[in-house]
Amino acid sequence: MYGRNCDSSFLFLKLFSIFLKRGTYVQRKTTVRKFTADEIDKLPAKHAARINPNLEIERTVVSVVDMPVLSTVANREAVVCFGADPILISQEVTT
């Protein structure tokens, strides 16, 4: 950006998508759910889910998190390390 004025530099930065500016944040969360009918059909004949269709299973899902600017998050450590939902600093003051 050498030799350009500030307005064109700012416009250039606005054109980048969020993941290019801040990176991509992912979280791993554990969910409990039941088998779907399609999944039960694919299971072996003596599987426990065929005997008990209400059998619940625990699965881990990794998903992309829409993270606000990290400097505006009050509970950064809990969000990054422990999978908590982000609390914005402005929300923390009002609650």
pLDDT tens, the chain, 95 aa long: 555 555 555 665 666 666 677 788 888 888 999 999 999 999 999 999 999 989 999 999 898 888 888 889 899 899 888 888 888 988 665 55
Q: For residues 43 and 52, give the distance between their C-alpha atoms in angstroms, rounded to a whole number.
A: 13
Tokens of 42: 């694919």
How far is residue 21 from each of residues 3, 49, 52, 69, measured CA to CA in Å?
A: 22, 45, 48, 10
- The domain ranges of the chain are 20-94
Does the pTM surpass 0.85? The reply is: no
In terms of Cα–Cα distance, which of 39, 90, 28 is closest to 61? 28
